[in-house]
Amino acid sequence: MCLVPGKTRKLLFKFVAKTEDVGKKIEITCVDLVLGSEMGRCVVLSWQGGGGDAASSQEALQAARSFKRRPRLPDNELHWDSITVQASTMIISRVPNISVQLRHEPPALMNEMYCLVVTVQSHEKTQIRDVKLTAGLKPGKHSFCK
């Protein structure tokens, strides 16, 4: 990423949540900006807070910013003081955008294999991975010959 003096940059990122993460909060607690290279660093700028205990100081900062006069900027640029900090968000579940088709034919003989063909098709914008399929019989749904 190239940072140009006097211009605000917005960095978007993605977080791949696991099933056990649903209902929990994800929070950015620190951002470090390293100027220079691995061989010769010039300076490390560190931003702490935005969430947790720093939330109350964030309100005071917003109030102090509201009294400043802002210079006119081009339409495609954001003024630094107009950026609101949202350092945390909840991870919520949603209905997956997939279609599932099941084809089967009941067995003709006792103890014959029951063949199932399951087709899962993704309509998501990104690739899905680690798809697991669990199949079983519901209790009380068995059919027995007498």
Tell me the pLDDT tens digit for each residue of 13-32: 777 788 889 999 988 888 88
According to DSSP, the β-strands at 88-90 and 41-48 are unpaired
- Name which residue leads in pLDDT, 84 or 65: 84
* pLDDT at site 139: 79
Rg over CA atoms, the chain: 27
The average pLDDT across 5-11 equals 78
pLDDT recorded at residue 146: 45
Residues in the chain: 146
pLDDT above 60 for 144: no
Give the pLDDT of residue 63.
56
Residue 120: CB partners within 8 Å, gap ≥ 6? 98, 99, 100, 131, 133
The predicted pLDDT at position 117 comes to 92
- Mean of pLDDT values over 57-70: 58
Q: Is the pLDDT of residue 53 over 70?
A: no
| Contact call for residues 78 and 8 (beta carbons, < 8 A) | yes
Q: What are phi and psi of 99, to 5 degrees?
A: -125, 140
Tell me the C-alpha distance between 102 and 99, whole Å.
Answer: 10
Report the predicted TM-score, pTM, of the whole model to 2 decimal places.
Answer: 0.43
Q: Output 14 or 144, whichever has higher pLDDT.
A: 14
